[in-house]
Amino acid sequence: MVRHNVYFWLDESLTADQKAEFEKGLAALGDIDVVSSGTFGKPAGTPERPVTRNTFDYALVLEFDSVEQHNAYQVHDEHHVFVDRFSQWFKEVRVFDTQF
């Protein structure tokens, strides 16, 4: 299994409607056929500690049954639709992939 963790820092000028549209885009990524499961969220209200970095706006977590499925997701048309539609709203994106 591969867990694909993506953290987004968005442009501060986005409206509530734009953020809602972005959330719909995140949700659609979880519906791609090669994705085993997916979810997204915002930073938790946990206590601040030296090791935490909760300055991101959204986190996306997708799971794949194999590296091959992860790789198929990366070139999937719907993934490209998301990137093409929303990448201009990203200030920063960080990806952490883990294999289990």
Q: What is the pTM of this model?
A: 0.94
Maximum separation of any 2 CA atoms in the chain, in Å: 39
Picking from 65, 71, 76, the residue whose alpha carbon sits closest to that of residue 99 is: 65
Q: Which helix (H) or strand (E) holds 96?
A: strand 90-99
3-class secondary-structure state, position 75: coil
pLDDT score, position 90:
97
Q: What tokens does 88 get?
A: 């201009």
pLDDT score, position 43:
97
Domains (ranges, CATH) in the chain?
2-45+54-99 (3.30.70.100)
Q: What is the DSSP letter of 8?
A: E
Q: Write the pLDDT tens digit of every residue in 27-62.
A: 999 999 999 999 999 999 999 999 999 999 999 999
Q: What tokens does 52 get?
A: 């935490």
The confidence band for 89, taking pLDDT boundaries of 50, 70 and 90, is very high
